[in-house]
Structure 1
Amino acid sequence: MTDAALRALLDKDAIRDCIHRYCRGIDRADEAALVSSYWPDAHDSHGAYSGPVSGFIEQVRKVWATGPRNIHNVGNIMVEFTSDTRADVETYFIAFQRGTGPDGVERQVQLCGRYCDLFEKRGQEWRVLRRTVVYDWVAPQEPPAQSEQDRFGPRTPIGGSYPDDPVYHIAADAGN
């Protein structure tokens, strides 16, 4: 294997890790993970919002304050390097989202689409510089009438937000 081929594999893995960090950040209300997936000067076109990533993150904070339930699943990550420091990346996603809107109504929706990203490498780190979210599927769903405890029953723990979700306690729980 050539050095260039090895570098490309390592860079693709770093890009995938960044995409996964974004998903954890959004789903677990982990602001540090979310912020670390974008460059500070990034631009995000995300549905109704289009502008600096700082505005997108502020919008996300407001949603987190309502206690939503989000799950993002990504796959089909295609990376095309345009230079040593830039890559065009298309990532397919499926997202299940439930939360209370500004009007006080709880809604649930399944979204499918793609993140069409320009990634940039600064130093040794890859992050999103420009994101356009393309929606290919939207399926509104009826939110469940039961509480999560009733629906999940003995299936615990139930996923939660940072820092309470079990993922943040893996190392601490290993000694038990």
Structure 2
Amino acid sequence: MDDNALQKVADRVAIEEVLTRYCRGIDRCDPDELARAFAHDAQIDYGNGPKPVGETIEGLMAGLGAMRLTQHNIGNVMCEVEGNEARAETYCVALHILPGGGEEPDTELVVGGRYLDRLVKRDGDWRIANRIYIMDWNRQQAATMQDRGGLFDTLGRRGARAPADPSYAWWAGES
């Protein structure tokens, strides 16, 4: 394998890490982690027109922070790298638990879609420069998630928003 082919593989691995970092930032409601996935001048369009990255992150933190939890899972990634630019189409399935009100149960919203990203490599680091989100399907129903009773009572660690999530201590080498 020549050096050019090896560089493309290394770039693809770095791009997939950026895509994964986005999911972690979203699910932990960590604006700093989320910002690390984007170029400082990125434009993001989730379907209501392109917006600057700072405005988008602020809106995401407000909206997702009001939810009980989210979990974004990325799957198929088709990526083409040309020098310091790349294009990627990434499939995503995201679970959102919206809190119920009073006697109303929580709502489970599952959304399937794709991210169309243009990425740039600046100072050796890949970042998303432009993102377009395409929703392919969704499902909404009363939540059936349980986290108490039976086996669930023996599971002592629960996912949380930043910095309370156990992964923050783990990444810091504290556990």
Deviation of 1:53 after TM superposition, in Å, equals: 1.3
SS of 1:159 mapped into structure 2: coil
How many aligned residue pairs are there? Answer: 168
SS of 2:23 mapped into structure 1: helix
Give the distance between the partners of 2:133 and 2:99, measured in 1 at CA.
22
Q: 2:97 corresponds to which letter in structure 1?
A: R
Question: Residue 71 of structure 1 corresponds to which residue in structure 2?
Answer: 71
Alignment deviations for residues 46-66 of structure 1 (CA, whole Å, 9 cap, x no partner): 144631111111101212442
Q: 1:63 corresponds to which letter in structure 2?
A: G
Between 1:67-76 and 1:32-41, the stretch displaced more is 67-76
Q: 2:85 corresponds to which letter in structure 1?
A: R
Give the distance between the partners of 2:27 and 2:167, measured in 1 at CA.
12
Q: 1:172 corresponds to which letter in structure 2?
A: E
TM-score, normalization by structure 2: 0.87
Tell me: CA distance 1:65–1:71, structure 2 relative to 1, closer, same or farther (3 Å).
closer
Give the distance between the partners of 1:65 and 1:80, measured in 2 at CA.
33
Deviation of 1:137 after TM superposition, in Å, equals: 1.2
Percentage of pairs with the same residue: 32
Contact 1:49 1:56 in 2 (8 A): no
Question: Residue 23 of structure 2 corresponds to which residue in structure 1?
Answer: 23
Q: 2:112 corresponds to which letter in structure 1?
A: C
1:155 aligns with 2:155: yes
Question: Residue 42 of structure 1 corresponds to which residue in structure 2?
Answer: 42
Q: 2:89 corresponds to which letter in structure 1?
A: E
Deviation of 1:100 after TM superposition, in Å, equals: 4.5
Deviation of 1:166 after TM superposition, in Å, equals: 1.1
User: What are structure 1's unaligned runs of at least 5 residues?
Assistant: none
Give the distance between the partners of 2:38 and 2:109, measured in 1 at CA.
25
Between 1:128-137 and 1:154-163, the stretch displaced more is 154-163
Give the distance between the partners of 1:48 and 1:153, measured in 2 at CA.
42
Q: What's the Cα RMSD here? A: 2.1
Give the distance between the partners of 2:67 and 2:24, measured in 1 at CA.
15
SS of 2:50 mapped into structure 1: strand
Give the distance between the partners of 1:147 and 1:136, measured in 2 at CA.
27
Tell me: CA distance 1:165–1:8, structure 2 relative to 1, closer, same or farther (3 Å).
same
Deviation of 1:114 after TM superposition, in Å, equals: 0.6
Q: 1:88 corresponds to which letter in structure 2?
A: R
Tell me: CA distance 1:150–1:78, structure 2 relative to 1, closer, same or farther (3 Å).
same
Deviation of 1:128 after TM superposition, in Å, equals: 0.4
SS of 1:58 mapped into structure 2: helix
Between 1:40-49 and 1:83-92, the stretch displaced more is 40-49
User: What are structure 2's unaligned runs of at least 5 residues?
Assistant: none
Question: Residue 174 of structure 2 corresponds to which residue in structure 1?
Answer: 172
Give the distance between the partners of 1:94 and 1:67, measured in 2 at CA.
17
